[in-house]
Amino acid sequence: MCGIVGYVGSGDTAGVLLSGLARLEYRGYDSAGIAIINDTGESCLRKSSGKLAQLRKLLESSPAIAGSTGIGHTRWATHGGPTDENAHPHYSEDGSVVLIHNGIIENFAQLRDELADVKLQSETDTEVVAVLLGRELAIVGDLETAFRNVVKRLKGTFTLLAAAVSEPGKIVSARHHSPLVIGLGEGESFLGSDVAAFVEHTRRAVAVADDRIVVITADGVTVTDFDGNLAEVSEYEIAWDPAAADKGGWPSFMAKEISEQPAAVADTIRGRVNDGVVDIPELAALGDEYLQRVNRIVILACGTAAYAGMIGRYAIEEWARVPVEVELSHEFRYRNPIFDANTLVISVSQSGETMDTLMAVNFAREQGLKTISVCNTQSATIPRESDAAIYTYAGPEVAVASTKAFLSQIVALQLLGLHLARVRGALTTEAHRETVAELQTIPDKVAEVVAVHKQVKELAHWMANTNSVLFLGRHVGFPTALEGALKLKEIAYIHAEGFAAGELKHGPIALIDHGQPVFVLVPSPRTNSVMHSKVVSNIQEIRARGARIIAIVETGDTAVLPFADDVIRVPLTDVLFEPLLQVVPMQWFALELSTVKGLDVDQPRNLAKSVTVE
């Protein structure tokens, strides 16, 4: 969950590291640090607890040296609290090597026992590796061999970057179940947790497979397995525009990303509709015959991605008539799940690096199941390890709270549902075309609902002292309500819960007291009149007990007006597409409540964007 960056070249090393860390700060922001080695073998290390701004401040009073070789780290604490001492990089005891780490070294305690004579400076598992590396280097005399010997002894998950004062101009790195990508420049090379670390310097990237050791110099890179055998690599061009990872004048990345949702949806649909019918080229690898045989689908994901999965489930079942289950990735593989050869596993992950989801996908593959990855990050680990990948083209999502990735994940799953429906002959061509035509109107409708910002902002400011908010929905409105609640917990630190509206009377209604704010997602009376009237009844039940109702309703629906304190209008659409519109006001609401409370919208406490530990 930490962000790592490495650079070898003749540029401004400290500048490259800091700008890389700024783009990776979403991965963790408890502390940050850099180390630089120059060609005469001098080194310097600067690190500080707190966000990157603290490190920048430190560098103003105590600038780093110039040098061709540098590593930088932004931390999400696991071993040891977020202190200056525990911040990375770490020196070996003799100062001969400097090292950074993302992940967890599980045999840390045994390794630490070997170093009983060493007084460590920190409580981290990382420093133990730095010390071991320094000792090994003293024995074998070259960094690469020493690094390889140490890496082979480690258990757990790790991406490690190390440099030695005796070998300036070189960084050695290793990955085991933790992300690492290479950037290739002209006379300079980069390493990063993801391409955001160096996209402003080069668009040429190399994906690194698991269990690889990478050595970079200014002139190039070498990739081997842990035993030193050369490994094949594939270079690709980074599709993201570097400017897309900047705030571009918005007060927060989250605000920018909410407003980018119409484009995220349109870009995810683009190229996947042919003459009014969905055809996802990436699924050709699986073959129509296999897709016809699939008798069950298991969607694996965490957090917001899991809610997207729950919403996608309704569409896939409705259109393709295949039973779908949605399971949290971290629960899946520990309960001895039952499946047969025709069970298809679909993972959903913005980052493509979420460890819980990666492990669940690997487990499914070990059982011989086919896997499809719905992912927003090109060449991330999960899509690379899946049988097929459907990329969501939301562009880089920097704010920890997921917004545009959520919408594009729902759309990708809906496209998948329509693709399966076509291949399996489960939907008439006319119904298929009508559904696709409606889906193609969604970007404009999302744009309309993005414009409710002002109304929601007033509401949030008025509710600034609220300490609990409930969200109710039925059918696809239920997972949408869960997502609304998650956004509020995540960035406004307010107790929030989402409920299936029908469940209320089975217990949660006891929470309703005078003035309790409740967002209610009201389904369309046109397309779902039965559910609509049930939700209107639910509104009356809680209203009678003093709830303050904020109703999100379709334009033209007047049935709720007598019972709602606030009404937020969204455009008309089909029931299965309603979440794509109804979630947007809740995203704005969370953002505005976070803002009015003076909180950090993009980097909420205790969280990291990409959770690469189990």
Catalytic site positions: 2, 609
Q: How far is the CB of 433 from ligand M6R (least distance, A)?
A: 31
User: Residues 217, 189: contact at Cβ < 8 Å?
Assistant: yes
Contact between 305 and ligand M6R by CB under 6 A: the answer reads yes
- 11 by Cβ neighbours in 10 Å (0-12 / 13-18 / 19+) ranks as middle
Residue of 86, 92, 259, 351 that binds ligand M6R (CB under 6 A): 351
Size of the site for ligand M6R (CB under 6 A): 16
Give residue number: closest CB to ligand M6R. 303
Residue of 193, 349, 386, 414 that binds ligand M6R (CB under 6 A): 349
Q: How far is the CB of 597 from ligand M6R (least distance, A)?
A: 18
Closest CB to ligand M6R among 351 and 524?
351
Contact between 304 and ligand M6R by CB under 6 A: the answer reads yes
Contact between 111 and ligand M6R by CB under 6 A: the answer reads no
Q: How far is the CB of 606 from ligand M6R (least distance, A)?
A: 11
Closest CB to ligand M6R among 165 and 254?
254
Residue of 49, 157, 343, 350 that binds ligand M6R (CB under 6 A): 350
Cα 152–chain centre separation: 29
User: Quick one: angle between helices 404-424 and 303-320, nearest 10?
Assistant: 20
Q: Which stretch binds ligand M6R (CB under 6 A): 155-163, 177-185, 394-402, 429-437?
A: 394-402
**Which stretches of 102-206 are DSSP H helices?**
108-114, 125-140, 143-151
- 513 by Cβ neighbours in 10 Å (0-12 / 13-18 / 19+) ranks as exposed
Contacts of 452-459 with C-beta under 8 Å, sequence gap 24+, read 452/568, 452/569, 452/570, 452/584, 452/585, 452/588, 453/258, 453/588, 455/568, 455/585, 456/568, 456/585, 456/588, 456/589, 456/592, 457/588, 457/592, 459/550, 459/566, 459/589, 459/592
Contact between 587 and ligand M6R by CB under 6 A: the answer reads no
Closest CB to ligand M6R among 162 and 181?
181
CA separation for the pair 311, 477 (Å, rounded)? 8
Closest CB to ligand M6R among 542 and 590?
590
CA separation for the pair 119, 102 (Å, rounded)? 23
Distances (CA, A) of 411 to 313, 361, 414, 449, 548: 11, 21, 5, 17, 32
Q: What single-letter amino acid sits at 323? A: P
Question: Site residues for ligand M6R, window 550-579 (CB under 6 A)?
Answer: none
Closest CB to ligand M6R among 350 and 386?
350
Closest CB to ligand M6R among 443 and 604?
604
Residue of 126, 362, 402, 595 that binds ligand M6R (CB under 6 A): 402
Residue of 400, 423, 442, 601 that binds ligand M6R (CB under 6 A): 400
Contact between 303 and ligand M6R by CB under 6 A: the answer reads yes
Closest CB to ligand M6R among 77 and 423?
77
- What is the contact mask toward ligand M6R in residues 439 to 478, using x (rule: CB under 6 A)? ----------------------------------------
Question: Site residues for ligand M6R, window 167-196 (CB under 6 A)?
Answer: none
User: Residues 4, 190: contact at Cβ < 8 Å?
Assistant: no
Q: How far is the CB of 437 from ligand M6R (least distance, A)?
A: 29
Q: Which two tokens stand for residue 260?
A: 């980018």
Q: Compute φ and ψ for 82, nearest 5 degrees.
A: -80, 70
Q: Which stretch binds ligand M6R (CB under 6 A): 118-126, 184-192, 278-286, 397-405?
A: 397-405
**What three-state secondary structure class fits 102?**
strand
- CB neighbour list of residue 305: distance below 8 Å, 6 or more residues apart: 348, 349, 350, 354, 357, 402, 405, 406, 409
- CB neighbour list of residue 150: distance below 8 Å, 6 or more residues apart: 129, 132, 133, 136
Contact between 490 and ligand M6R by CB under 6 A: the answer reads yes
Distances (CA, A) of 225 to 132, 194, 235, 486: 20, 20, 17, 41
Contact between 610 and ligand M6R by CB under 6 A: the answer reads yes
Closest CB to ligand M6R among 573 and 587?
587
Residue of 36, 273, 302, 324 that binds ligand M6R (CB under 6 A): 302
The residue among 290, 39, 289 whose CA lies nearest residue 164 is: 39
**What three-state secondary structure class fits 495?**
strand
Contact between 386 and ligand M6R by CB under 6 A: the answer reads no
Q: Which stretch binds ligand M6R (CB under 6 A): 32-40, 97-105, 263-271, 301-309?
A: 301-309
Closest CB to ligand M6R among 300 and 459?
300
List residues binding ligand M6R (CB under 6 A).
Answer: 302-305, 349-351, 354, 357, 400-402, 486, 490, 610-611
